[in-house]
Structure 1
Amino acid sequence: MTIRQAAGDDGDDVQDNITETGVDNTRYMDEFFEQIQEIRSSIDFIADNVNQVKMKHSIILSNTTNDPKAKEELEELMAQIKKTSNKVRNKLKIAEQQIEQDENLSTSADIRIRRTQHNTLSRKFVQVMTDYNNTQTDYRDGCKKRIHRQLDIAGRSVDDDQLEEMIESGNPRIFTQGIITETQQAKQTLADIEARHNDIIKLENSIRELHEMFMDMAMLVESQGEMVDRIEWNVEHAKEYIDSAVADTKKAVLYQSKARRVKSFICRIHKQ
């Protein structure tokens, strides 16, 4: 076997390795984008459920009597949001860990694409969950105002601080103390107060869970902010590197052209 043949065989092996690496990388990116699409669809699903929650809140607060069906549907929506949001959070955290590992090994364009996609989805997820948290807080305020109004109707006046203490006590009987419930209207009023109080207790559990999720995601988004700054720095310095490379290339072409002229001149002298 000649040296040229050996070199040719080695070149074929290298080319095969490059081809296999390219195929594997393409397959990996396809899987990544498929996962990204699944997460995006889940976030859109949460956003749609949050809008439905808002409508249920409006219906429940506008009803003069307790509506078990509306509350059951509301609880089902909240359960779906909780389940899906936990899945999204876990997927984003796993993807973040994988990207960090790969960033320590390479700075390829594919990794930067994955980082950008992940950052975008993380921020979108936080925005949707922030909207949900605000929705829950607004509903709590609405329930609190409803309780305050019903207590006034029942002849028991309390200020905002006293009402907050009553709610925080977690004891629904505290609302019935000193109130005469002889009439049907009075009984209905107290039933409504207790129902709103139960709603607030459930809401506070949901808000606490959301707070834990926010703390977890806030750290992720904060680290992404640092990553965005680093990416911008890399982009700027990449531009400087490209400009420098172009200048070096022009110099190389110039030197090569001069070298050819010198070589041609030497050949002419030699022939003479």
Structure 2
Amino acid sequence: MVVLSVLLVLSDIYSCRSGQLKTGSTCDNDDEEVEIAIDNAAFMDEFFSQIEDIRNSIDKIDENVSEVKKLYSVILSAPTSDQKTQDDLEAVTNDIKKMANNARNKLKTIERNLESEEEERISADMRIRKSQHAVLSRKFVDVMTKYNEAQLDFRERSKGRIQRQLEITGKATTDEELEEMLEGGNSAVFTSGIMDSGISKQALSEIEARHKDIVRLESSIKELHDMFVDIAMLVESQGGMIERIESNMDQSVGFVERAVADTKKAAKFQQEARRVSGNKKAQVPPPGLSSCSVDQHLLG
């Protein structure tokens, strides 16, 4: 039996080209349609629904990361901390954490299911699911890496602001000394050592605000650390599979188009054969194009 699942997964992976993922249809624009039976259709529909949910979560995280970057810039450009901006930042970072945990849990569930079924069956839909899981895991790590880089950049720039304010008061510090001061985590303890240095109230206020920003930021980084490492290790183990998917991308699009064309030729021949032989079913496929060869083309 010809399995359309192969077409479905490639249509999904290359959705930027085809703009569609339709169960039971091809990406061909011809009016003529060929009906092809789908193995495990209901199960794969559910799987693709899960994949779409994960993809939407990752896309939303990516949008929120862009918003976080804007809020970081607003905070760094202001001499004093604005409570509304801080509240907006907290809301967006909480959304990122919630959606990231949701995406991670769903990816881990798919991973466990694949591991439990791998020894029992080797099929086209198994290869499809593994490929989809690998691609989305990589995409998830990419967007979380982008978020982590934004956090680290904000920390360094906040630390730089503190260092400059200290230099203005004549209390210059090295990176190592400033890191030791920041590690305390307590704003009162942090500022107690510089209050006697003749620092202005405004400068002290900014130092305290930047210190609080860094403390909140480090708490957020720690919360996401284990989850990030977990998925990053998974992607590293899938490195070979992801590279194969990426390197075969262009070849596969053309391959699917040829496979669909071959399938249509086979269907057309069968229709002509039925008209010639009446009710008798066609037994012999056209030269060079057997139903078996079509299966082999699609299943690779």
Asked whether the equivalents of residues 65 and 192 of structure 1 are also in contact (C-alpha less than 8 Å), the reply is: yes
Q: Which residue of 2 aligns with 1:165?
A: 180
Q: Which residue of 1 aligns with 2:84?
A: 69
- Residue 226 (structure 1) shift: 5.4
Q: Is 1:223–2:237 an aligned residue pair?
A: yes
Q: Secondary structure at the match of 1:107?
A: coil
Q: Which has the higher helix share?
A: 1
Mapped to 2, the partners of 1:77 and 1:87 lie a distance apart of 15
Q: Is 1:133–2:148 an aligned residue pair?
A: yes
- Residue 23 (structure 1) shift: 7.2
Q: Which residue of 2 aligns with 1:187?
A: 201
Q: Which residue of 1 aligns with 2:281?
A: none
Instruction: Count matched residues.
Output: 210
1:43 to 30, 35, 58: 58
Cα deviation code 1:6-57 (max 9, x no counterpart): xxxxxxxxxxxxxxxx777100001100110010000000000000000000
Cα deviation code 1:163-197 (max 9, x no counterpart): 11101122323324243488xx8112111111111
Mapped to 2, the partners of 1:169 and 1:64 lie a distance apart of 23
Q: Secondary structure at the match of 2:170?
A: coil
2:190 to 158, 174, 179: 174
Q: Which residue of 2 aligns with 1:116?
A: 131
Larger radius of gyration: 1
Q: Which amino acid aligns with 2:93?
A: M
Mapped to 2, the partners of 1:116 and 1:191 lie a distance apart of 52
Q: Which residue of 2 aligns with 1:234?
A: none
Asked whether the equivalents of residues 180 and 186 of structure 1 are also in contact (C-alpha less than 8 Å), the reply is: no
Mapped to 1, the partners of 2:145 and 2:57 lie a distance apart of 16
The percent of aligned pairs where both chains have the same amino acid is 52
Cα deviation code 1:57-104 (max 9, x no counterpart): 011101122211111101111111011100100000001111122221
Q: Which residue of 2 aligns with 1:247?
A: none
Q: Which amino acid aligns with 1:101?
A: S
Structure 1 segments unaligned to the other structure (5+ residues) = 1-21, 232-272
Q: Secondary structure at the match of 2:193?
A: coil
TM-score by length of 2: 0.65
- Residue 228 (structure 1) shift: 5.8
Q: Which residue of 1 aligns with 2:47?
A: 32
Q: Which amino acid aligns with 2:223?
A: E
Q: Is 1:150–2:165 an aligned residue pair?
A: yes
Higher RCO (C-alpha 8 Å, min separation 6): 2
- Residue 229 (structure 1) shift: 8.4
Q: Which residue of 2 aligns with 1:243?
A: none
Asked whether the equivalents of residues 46 and 84 of structure 1 are also in contact (C-alpha less than 8 Å), the reply is: yes
